[in-house]
Amino acid sequence: MPAMPRLARIAAALALMLAVAAPAAAKSVEIEWIADRHLSELLKKPAYQQVWRSQILSEIPAEDQAWIQDALSSSGPHGEVRINGKRYLASTLCHPHNCDDNKLYILINEQRAVAAHAQFHEPHRMPAHSEPYQRTEAFTLRHYGRPDKAEKEALKELIFQEWKAEAEENARQKPDSKNE
């Protein structure tokens, strides 16, 4: 008979461990699920919608509100970014009829949202990061959500990574001039 109370204690201890571990595991799975979603899907969650509206939309000029407010022109998730130990989900929005030259780069979590709005002033831009003889076109960069220095650096890195990928894609599509 003394074995029964011991089994009950073991079962209670296991139940307690499971109760403590389950929410942490669920949060991790939720972050992974969110990181694979477009911003428009993420903004259906009330916490993200509140942060988006109060920290980003409140600063966006009226002429850009239409394409930014519902994040319907999301060009896709860019995964998770960590800044000072905090998780942010990275995403990009682009103007529906001017995607290459008018983009919003976003970092968002349930408490904070920051963005960098890059507007290029010359069509058919090609970033100068990969080849020294290429020029960098003029662009305007505005920040929303009052990003701190670390957040600005993360946004800058997000922009650079996209430019680098664009340059590599353009280089692959460009015919080899040596074989002509």
Chain-wide mean pLDDT for the chain?
77
Residue 153 lies in a domain: yes
Q: Are residues 28 and 57 in the same domain?
A: no
Which two three-digit tokens encode residue 95? 């103007």
Structure confidence at residue 163 (pLDDT): 82
**CA-CA distances (angstroms) from residue 23 to 18, 20, 174?**
9, 7, 50
Could you tell me which of 39, 165, 36, 35 has the C-alpha nearest to residue 100? 165
pTM above 0.75, yes or no: no
Q: Binning pLDDT at 50, 70 and 90, where does residue 170 land?
A: confident
Q: Are residues 12 and 63 in the same domain?
A: no
Q: Are residues 163 and 104 in the same domain?
A: yes
Q: Are residues 31 and 47 in the same domain?
A: no
